[in-house]
A and B are shown apart, each in its own frame.
Chain A
Amino acid sequence: MSETTTDTAAKTPVTMTPGASGPRRVLRMLWADKLAFVAILFLMVVLLSAIFGPMFLEDMASKTNLRARNAAPFELERGFFYILGGDALGRPLLARIIVASQNTMVIAAGAVFGSLIVGSTLGLIAGYAGRWTGEVIMRLADVIMSFPSLLLAVIVLYMLEPSIGNLVLVLAITRIPIYLRTTRAEVLEVRERMFVQAAKVMGASNRRIVFKHILPVILPTLLTIATLDFAFVMLAESALSFLGIGIQAPEITWGLMVSQGRQYLTNAWWLAFWPGLAIILTTMSLNLLSSWMRVALNPTQRWRLEIGGKKNG
């Protein structure tokens, strides 16, 4: 398995941008789609906060100050970080959102990449390998799909510890079937196509066919699902907090913040609104990025971005 994973990682960039003449071209194509450009910028900000936020703001984000309890947003008298208001314990929401971005990103990215890699690998095998292997893998997917994710969460978090790593494990497992089934379905379709058959006839190895011919075709769909799943995982994590399982205070994630702020919806809407907005904006950025990528990666569509930055054909 690890071998295939490294292979995917090593080879995809090559297949993804055949003949790319470096970052300048990518940048130009990005500039051509202004929305995608903004999305990238936003994601960079999120990434930077995730990496550096906790380092600088940890203390401020966890120091309670009951005088600033539920402080209203857009007031600067308590300092810049109170611009989004204070939470139920008077901690500045902006600082908390920045600090929480780390956990949120780690959980979402961990779960999405984990399930994407495992799921699509299994899906490729199921679609391409023999009938028996495929059958076993599909039944495995059925078992996972029918295993209630809440029960899985309770079992894992009860037996192990309610830590972030274990939560990633739970979420990743529950999301495997969706990649597995999609990949298999696409493989079944693609492998019958002319060019794959041709490659076969010409004696290409299975590995070559899978990575050179099949994967590039199904990758856009997988990436679309992955970006959307990013949102799903953030929300699933939030729902788990809502139900009382999953990440708990004093750890913070955006999902947990929304879930905790929900009880104040009628009195202090900002507690749940800002972290919710952070989730929505991140998801949207990812999605805009993914639709840009779908065009940029598709040799027959790429021209849309290359003709003088004219938007969207």
Chain B
Amino acid sequence: MKKMLGKRAVSSFVSLMVLIVLVFFLSRLTGDPAALYLPVDASEAMRENFREIHGLNDPVLVQFGRYLSDLVQLDFGDSLRKARPAIDVVLESFVWTLQLALITMTLVTVAAIIFGSIAAFNVGRPFDRFASVLSLIGASAPDFWIAIVGIVLFSVNFGWLPTSGTGTVWHWILPICVLFIRPFGLILQIVRGSMINALGSPYVKTARAKGVKNRPVIFVHTLRNAMLPVITVIGDQAAALLNGAVVVETIFGFPGVGKLMIDSILQRDFNVILAAIMVTAIAIFIMNILIDIAYALLDPRIRA
């Protein structure tokens, strides 16, 4: 296991470096931050001065070299707009995203496995049809649409929940519900499909034919075999959430990394973009390792 971890760390480091290089150079092809940062009626002298102060006048390669040498000393540079270290800005918002992603994914996983399994054991029965259709409707509606309808309904009309922001536990309910819907529908479908396959597999059939009546045993056994594709999808969904739930964060004024990312991208605040990518990439790396461990535990034949 240790060897595997070491290998993964090395290879992920390589991916991360590739990512940084890509982002660094590609993002600098998308326009001049001075033009965006300064007002439209700023003079060329002001622009020139801005670029000079932030080192944007040097050749891109020089900028990259400087960035790397700072990075080695764990200096991620300053935010162009906020005049403070980019990494502070990112970590501040990543904490929020991490909490949101963890809570949502835990709820989604538990709920999807329960409901998906019930559906699989009752293929074609009303519950199965109902769960499939309902989860699908939820998963097919645009999240900003659900979010705004949610606010109109639960905050404005009924007055049950705060519209947006942070502060109390109540503030978390709407964003989590909106985030919950889509991965829930998707994972439920995968759990269901995978469980049906597993239930049709020879060993479960044999077990059933032999008269194993113990439902929990069959359930656990089937689930174990059905989990591989499910875990992959859970991983992808969690990764998506760790990258920040842009739309939900934007609407609910939730200070997560997704909102930070879209703002920084639109404003070309390169250092913040890079720091955010690194932080989320490391988080996703850790999560992927957990997934690999889960694979290995579920299926000893796989040695990733």
Contact = CB atoms under 8 A, between A and B. Distances in A.
Contacts of B200: 298, 300-301
Contact of B140 (A139, A192, A284, A313): A284
A312 B137 CA distance: 22
Interface string B126-145: 00000011001101111111
A180 B222 CA distance: 25
Interface in A236-291: 238-239, 242-244, 255, 258-259, 262, 265-266, 272, 276, 279-280, 283-284, 287, 291
B295 interface: yes
B262 A155 contact: no
Contact of B142 (A147, A158, A186, A279): A279
Contacts of A186: 228-229
Contacts of A224: 189-190, 193
Contact of A258 (B145, B250, B299): B145
B19 A147 contact: yes
Interface in B106-146: 123-124, 132-133, 136-137, 139-145
B273 A151 contact: yes
A178 interface: yes
Given A239-B143, A276-B141, A312 B265 contact: no
B142 A154 contact: no
B15 A313 contact: no
B74 interface: no
Contacts of B124: 311-313
A146 B276 CA distance: 10
Interface in B262-304: 262, 265-266, 273, 276-277, 280-281, 284-285, 288, 295, 299, 301-302
A261 B295 CA distance: 44
Most chain B CB neighbours (cut-off 10 Å) among A145, A148, A283, A298: A148
B139 A228 contact: yes
A177 interface: yes
B12 A142 contact: yes
B284 A235 contact: no
A159 B22 contact: no
The contact size tier of chain B is 35 or more
Given A259-B142, A276-B141, A185 B228 contact: yes
A135 interface: yes
B26 interface: yes
Interface in B225-263: 228-229, 232-233, 235-236, 239, 243, 246-247, 250, 261-262
Contacts of A284: 133, 136-137, 140
Given A143-B15, A228-B186, A239-B246, A181 B144 contact: no
Nearest to A146: B281
A174 to B, nearest CB: 10
Nearest to B295: A185
B29 A155 contact: yes
Contacts of A61: none
Interface string B35-54: 00000000000000000000
B268 to A, nearest CB: 9
B144 A262 contact: yes
Chain A: interface size category: 35 or more
Contact of B262 (A150, A159, A265): A150
B23 interface: yes
B57 interface: no
A189 interface: yes
A280 B133 CA distance: 10
A162 interface: no
B14 interface: yes
Contacts of B140: 231, 235, 279-280, 283-284
B229 A280 contact: no
B204 to A, nearest CB: 13
A139 B15 contact: yes
Contacts of A73: none
A151 B31 contact: no
A159 B30 contact: yes
Contacts of A83: none
A181 to B, nearest CB: 5
A93 to B, nearest CB: 16
A280 B138 CA distance: 9
23 contacts: A139-B11, A147-B277, A148-B261, A148-B265, A151-B23, A151-B27, A158-B29, A159-B29, A178-B233, A182-B232, A220-B197, A221-B194, A225-B190, A232-B182, A239-B144, A239-B247, A242-B144, A242-B247, A244-B266, A291-B193, A294-B193, A312-B124, A313-B124
What are the 10 tightest A-B residue pairs by CB atom distance, in nearest-first order? A312-B124, A283-B140, A146-B281, A280-B140, A142-B15, A139-B15, A158-B30, A238-B142, A231-B140, A143-B15
Interface of A: 135, 138-140, 142-143, 145-151, 154-155, 158-159, 177-178, 181-182, 185-186, 188-189, 192, 220-221, 224-225, 228, 231-232, 235, 238-239, 242-244, 255, 258-259, 262, 265-266, 272, 276, 279-280, 283-284, 287, 291, 294, 298, 300-301, 311-313
Given A139-B11, A284-B133, A312-B124, 20 more contacts: A139-B14, A139-B15, A140-B15, A142-B12, A146-B284, A149-B243, A150-B261, A155-B30, A182-B232, A189-B301, A221-B229, A224-B190, A228-B185, A232-B186, A239-B143, A243-B247, A243-B250, A279-B142, A298-B200, A300-B200
